[in-house]
Chains A and B, each alone.
Chain A
């Protein structure tokens, strides 16, 4: 798991807060991903960045705002979230886009109160 790190590991925030999730990969990969994992639902792809360019936005509400300043770092900015946004948010990276195996971070457990 040290190849992809995520901070914080746990986050509790109110619906009016603004917070950011951070992901860093030390694998020299070119693609990075944000996924949402809710209880009893499949892993949902949220955003994809390939060579720092956003290539996929899977109809994610605007209260989630991604940022990819370079190929090693990925952020997910959160504001005015809803309780149903509580979930495990996973970051992943891969050598290239789509056809390669993905390496996941440990996730951020988010609770919106």
Chain B
């Protein structure tokens, strides 16, 4: 399977702590994207990191990409109860014009107040 695989499948932390989620994939990618989904709702795009980038930041989010290890991580710092959601990585295989975006199964994050 080409899909990204998130680890862990579930994560429970206290408010204020940091949360780290990992994504691994199997073949070369064009870019990797992270999305958040609140229960039963649509996905919200968080960050896109291209294959020639190593790190990107957006507010309390930090994404790293290691193409040699075919892995990415999403770090949420100073977590809040509102961060409770499922987080998915999605990898773009193939060219930017014809590739497919393939989603992993996600990490369910619970942030306890």
Task: Please state if A99 and B30 are interface contacts (CB–CB under 8 Å).
Answer: yes
B24 within 8 A of A: no
A45's contact among B30, B41, B100, B104, by CB below 8 Å, is which? Answer: B100
Binds B, one of A13-21, A67-75, A103-111: A103-111
User: Which of B15-23, B59-67, B91-99 has 4 or more CB atoms under 8 Å from chain A?
Assistant: B91-99
Chain A residues contacting B99 (CB-CB under 8 Å) are 98-99
A101 lies within 8 A of B33 (CB): yes
Give A88 to B73 CA distance when docked, in angstroms: 27
Q: Is A7 on the interface with B (CB-CB < 8 A)?
A: no
Interface size class of B (residues with CB under 8 A): 20 to 34
B49-64 CB contacts (< 8 Å) to partner A? none
Alpha-carbon separation in the docked complex, A104 to B86 (Å): 15
Q: Are B97 and A103 in contact (CB under 8 A)?
A: no
The reply on B113 being an interface residue by CB < 8 A is no
B105 interface residue (CB < 8 Å to A): yes
Which residues of A lie under 8 Å from residue B95 when comparing CB positions?
98
Would you give the 0/1 interface string for A1-23, flagging 1 where the beta carbon is closer than 8 Å to chain B? 10010100000000000000000
Is B82 among interface residues, defined by CB-CB distance under 8 A?
A: no
Please give the distance in Å from A34's CB to the nearest CB on chain B.
13
Residues on the A chain within 8 Å of B25, using CB: none
Q: Is the CB of B104 within 8 A of A98?
A: no
Distance between A71 CB and nearest chain B CB, rounded to angstroms: 17
B43 close to A98 (CB less than 8 A): no
A100 to B90, CA, bound (A): 12
B42 with A99: CB separation less than 8 A:
no
- Complex: A68 Cα to B103 Cα, angstroms: 24
Residues of B close to A109: CB separation below 8 A: 40
CB within 8 Å of A: which B72-107 residues = 88, 90, 92, 94-106
Chain B residues in the interface with A (C-beta under 8 A): 3, 30-31, 33, 35, 40-45, 48, 88, 90, 92, 94-106
Which A positions have Cβ atoms within 8 angstroms of B? 1, 4, 6, 40-43, 45, 56, 88, 90, 92, 97-107, 109
